[in-house]
Amino acid sequence: MPTFVLDCSVALGWFFADEGAAFAKAVASSLATTRAIAPSIWPLEVANAILMGERRRRSTPAQASAWLASLRTLPIAIDDETTSHAWGTSLDLGREHSLSAYDAAYLELAIRKHLPIATLDGVLKGAAKKLGVRAFEP
């Protein structure tokens, strides 16, 4: 089954209606025939975005619980090697391409696994393209 790296920005497009770009919806639909992989920081990034959304009154704990229950059913694997690359390749990628350490982790995973990346983040898209990492096309 084809696989791609899933950036948090895309997953959040599934939850927050005002971030629900057509691309994010297409990626969600593609999970019927593909599977995703995300770095080990992904669950924390998702949780943080949910907390920030609740604090800004964009969502409620009940909405988040329901969405997380459905998110858990999707074919999204968590990479168990992310942290072993944090102080090496990911840090270098962040420096070279002006990425956050978090975004560099997604790029590192895509490079290491030779996978396309699904992201809504413009800077991450640009760095991926510059390094020859394919954009995921749902």
Q: What CATH class has 3-130? A: alpha beta
Question: Three-class SS of residue 76?
Answer: strand
Query: d(Cα 117, Cα 100) in Å, to the nearest integer?
Result: 16
pTM equals 0.94
| pLDDT for 21 | 81
**Residue at 121: amino acid letter:** D
pLDDT digits (tens, 9 = 90+) for 49-81: 999 999 999 999 999 999 999 999 999 999 999
| Residue 19 scores a pLDDT above 90 | no
pLDDT digits (tens, 9 = 90+) for 29-52: 999 999 999 999 999 999 999 999
H or E stretch at 4: strand 3-6
| pLDDT for 20 | 66
